[in-house]
Chains A and B, each alone.
Chain A
Amino acid sequence: MNIRKRRLLVALASLLGLYGWPIARASRLDAQLAMNKIINARPVEDGGILLDIPPLIENGNSVPIQVEVLRPMSSSSYVRAIHLVAEENPLPNVLSVYLSPQLGRAKLATRIRLATTQRVWAIAETSDGTFMRTYANTTVTTAACFEG
């Protein structure tokens, strides 16, 4: 089978949902499980986090994302961890960062890959064991992970 024929077959198979994607792609359930594992049945409140991600993304291979948890950073009370979870990525866990009061502000900026249009969650854990979470919706026109 030549390469062109093979590519055509692969394209057809992916249209029918038979190739690559269904095996590698995570479901929302996987993302939910990943979040449950992070939160581990402790109390969660919605909000308290600024999650800045472009609403329209041309290139899913490099998506600028900024997170700020609106909590003071003192030695007695601080943000211990920030996690990012992408619902439709092949692996929903995107990033986990463990912080300390020395940082002064619970603010991070990085660049991530997004496989497709989806919801991205930011989850923060404070030193007293409570959690906060928020999400943002994004539209991705060129996917990461499977191409380029």
Chain B
Amino acid sequence: MAKTSRTRILMPATARKGETIEITAIVQHDMETGFRRTENGELIARDIIRDFQVLFNGKEILRAEFHPAQSANPMMSFNVLAVQSGVFEFNWRGDNGYSATNQSTLTVTQ
């Protein structure tokens, strides 16, 4: 079974047309770098989220490639220009079959 974990999206539910909103997406993940060693000197295998994608009404608007330098519980904050109402979809994919998804709706008023 694929691994998954909790995700959290912080964004306003409504916005005026033409307003720039801020969206913060957080996902629970240890982001094991692959550079750490156990007490016996053995390398701990890398286990990270590699890919983060944001879709608006089914169209990709942002994609990020994560590396081991991304902190544990990756957080990404970005802006979106409110033009029309719709659904944001957030997808995370990573090592060892990791996959998580979340959705959030924005209502745009005139």
Partner of B72, one of A61, A91, A110: A61
Task: Report Cα–Cα, A102/B74, bound state, in Å.
Answer: 23
Residues of B within 8 A of A144 (CB): 33
Q: By CB atoms of chain A within 10 A, which of B20, B24, B79 has the most?
A: B79
A91 pairs with B62, CB closer than 8 A: no
Instruction: Please classify how large the interface on chain B is, using the bins under 10, 10 to 19, 20 to 34, 35 or more.
Output: 20 to 34
Q: How many A residues, CB 8 Å from partner?
A: 39
B36 pairs with A145, CB closer than 8 A: yes
A interface secondary structure, majority: mixed
Residues of A within 8 A of B61 (CB): 99-100, 102-103
A108 pairs with B39, CB closer than 8 A: no
Nearest CB in chain A: distance from B16 CB, A: 13
Task: Report Cα–Cα, A112/B81, bound state, in Å.
Answer: 26
Residues of B within 8 A of A100 (CB): 60-62
Q: Mark A100-116, 1 if CB is under 8 A from B, else 0.
A: 10111101111111100
Q: Is A86 an interface residue (CB 8 A)?
A: yes
B78 pairs with A111, CB closer than 8 A: no
Task: Report Cα–Cα, A104/B69, bound state, in Å.
Answer: 27
Partner of A113, one of B60, B64, B69: B69
10 cross-chain pairs, A with B, having the tightest CB-CB distances, nearest first = A104-B81, A109-B77, A111-B71, A94-B69, A105-B79, A96-B65, A97-B64, A62-B71, A104-B20, A102-B61
Provide 16 A-B residue pairs closer than 8 Å at the C-beta atoms, listed in order of the A residue.
Answer: A6-B39, A61-B72, A62-B71, A90-B68, A91-B67, A96-B64, A97-B78, A98-B63, A98-B64, A103-B80, A110-B75, A111-B75, A112-B70, A113-B68, A113-B71, A145-B33
